[in-house]
Structure 1
């Protein structure tokens, strides 16, 4: 197991004392289960539980959607064009990698099926992956509202398409900032416009200023639009037709038809070479890169910052 020296109990914040084959034992005498080789470090206040993992309960993700031996999944994932694409994701992560010193400690929240991707993308970092389920075998299972690491543990924290699935994003973002070192980086990505998904674990959408307000202890280094107006339009039109019916066969037919008819629309976003919040008022999503500086910013300070950007 990696980076166990900074582990704390998610409730008491007691330090890790000992690791057995079955448990993490803490200095206050409490213990948390290791199941199928993965530590389950849930707070008692979490909406997720140890039993969810033991019983393989499907929560925020269902790994079966990746199974392309299933005919429907094969058509959807292999043959049909996607309705939207984050064209700059590789460039964005390459830029982040260049900013990160070698041997940095990096925490990934909600790694999902991209565990290998992240570890390969940041080869010189000690990458710690996490999620609220064990379908893809992360390093640790925990709820991001109660991160079981001590203050200032990580040089980099990355959470892509995770915040919308947190029931209390304010607390979640405070936790992200708590475990990031002063001067460390946070790369956070989330939708402004996207259909309800992973139900019922889908709670919020974020505008530019709403996103910024969640990270008051940080300086904004860069903001990218992950998918623009065209992608948002394609997603909206597609979902309009899909939602004309509640019957699975009809919805699947509309998904097939709309992917064929509207899959090309996303490429219109490529014509906006420098998309920003002025030129793209209805993006599908944002990617913020922050630097933790611990400067105290009030709500007025954050709004003033926004007005200064407009000048």
Structure 2
């Protein structure tokens, strides 16, 4: 992908790579740290110092440490309060629909690099994030994507848009780097507790998500975790946050996981997307196709009425 890399501010093409920096046509440089390029815009809320100092931003890798007893109990022994039951099938079906050697950009890959490579074995995958905790291919801010326009066959951003301070600009960038006829796989919450604070900014209704991609057709939409999961998460969150004391919070977490972990299975009873089920799910998965047709806001809103009552 070196031929497609551009400076996120000047849009100058990349002309040279060294162990310590990327050099662009306008003679500007961006750093490489521990073998990972840091391609932040000057306007980004993130910067090189965040990476060098390992600042915790949108993710904290410590939560995945299974040698920590608390993490082990929470992640391995206690039932989860919500689950995206269709995620594997959604990605498998999407992967089968793509041409061989499709160029794929993953925004906010987190710890899932190996998972995505397994789900999309026939794609040439480029991973990215705003931190270096899990060694993505590139570090950059999705508001300023350092790639030329129309260079990816598919762009995936799962549970990322809520962490963007300007989702309109972010989604415009996602569409810019996607080829005409290419696919955008976008997943985001409508109802979920404040997390990764303070880097958590928005929630998205069905029509809100649709409005962010006006030059795309909707190929498929589905609820990722439904209303029953939302109830379980909300009730647990209420009790856990009644106190600031760790022992009280941990006790409520343990208790509510045991009491309400079963609720998520009720979502399997109502998996179809209609005007009732879009009321209070945790979130959605949208599969868009970039067609460059300029849809007016009213046209986008009218698509809601195609949903069954």
Normalising by structure 1, what TM-score? 0.97
Indicate the SS of the match to 1:304. Answer: helix
Cα separation, partners in 2 of 1:177 and 1:4, compared to 1, 3 Å: same
Where do 1:136-215 residues align within 5 Å?
A: 136-215=134-213
| Cα RMSD, aligned residues only | 1.1
Q: How far, CA to CA, are the matches of 1:163 and 1:69 in structure 2?
A: 31
2:111 matched to which residue of 1?
A: 113
Q: How far, CA to CA, are the matches of 1:75 and 1:54 in structure 2?
A: 32
Q: How far, CA to CA, are the matches of 1:89 and 1:276 in structure 2?
A: 19
The 10-residue stretch of structure 1 (91-100 or 157-166) with the greater mean CA deviation from structure 2: 91-100
Q: How far, CA to CA, are the matches of 1:306 and 1:256 in structure 2?
A: 39
Q: Kindly state the Cα deviation for residue 278 of structure 1 after the two structures are TM-superposed.
A: 3.0
The 10-residue stretch of structure 1 (300-309 or 249-258) with the greater mean CA deviation from structure 2: 300-309
Deviation per CA, 1:259-307: give whole Å up to 9, x if none. Answer: 0110001011111242434334210000000000011111122122323
Indicate the SS of the match to 1:287. Answer: strand
Residue ranges of structure 2 left out of the alignment (5+ in a row): none
CA contact (8 A) 2:179 2:290 kept: yes
Q: State which of 242, 245, 252 in structure 1 corresponds to 2:243.
A: 245
* Runs of 4+ with deviation above 6 angstroms: none
The 10-residue stretch of structure 1 (240-249 or 200-209) with the greater mean CA deviation from structure 2: 240-249
Q: How far, CA to CA, are the matches of 2:248 and 2:85 in structure 1?
A: 30
1:85 matched to 2:95 = no
Where do 1:258-277 residues align within 5 Å?
A: 258-277=256-275
Q: State which of 29, 49, 53 in structure 1 corresponds to 2:51.
A: 53
Q: How many residues align?
A: 309
CA contact (8 A) 1:134 1:141 kept: yes
Indicate the SS of the match to 2:249. Answer: helix
CA contact (8 A) 1:84 1:231 kept: yes
Q: How far, CA to CA, are the matches of 1:291 and 1:279 in structure 2?
A: 24
Where do 1:17-56 residues align within 5 Å?
A: 17-56=15-54
2:285 matched to which residue of 1?
A: 287
Q: How far, CA to CA, are the matches of 1:42 and 1:164 in structure 2?
A: 19
CA contact (8 A) 1:228 1:275 kept: no
Residue ranges of structure 1 left out of the alignment (5+ in a row): none
Q: Kindly state the Cα deviation for residue 142 of structure 1 after the two structures are TM-superposed.
A: 0.1
The 10-residue stretch of structure 1 (232-241 or 273-282) with the greater mean CA deviation from structure 2: 273-282
Q: How far, CA to CA, are the matches of 1:168 and 1:236 in structure 2?
A: 26
Q: How far, CA to CA, are the matches of 2:121 and 2:9 in structure 1?
A: 32
2:234 matched to which residue of 1?
A: 236
Normalising by structure 2, what TM-score? 0.98
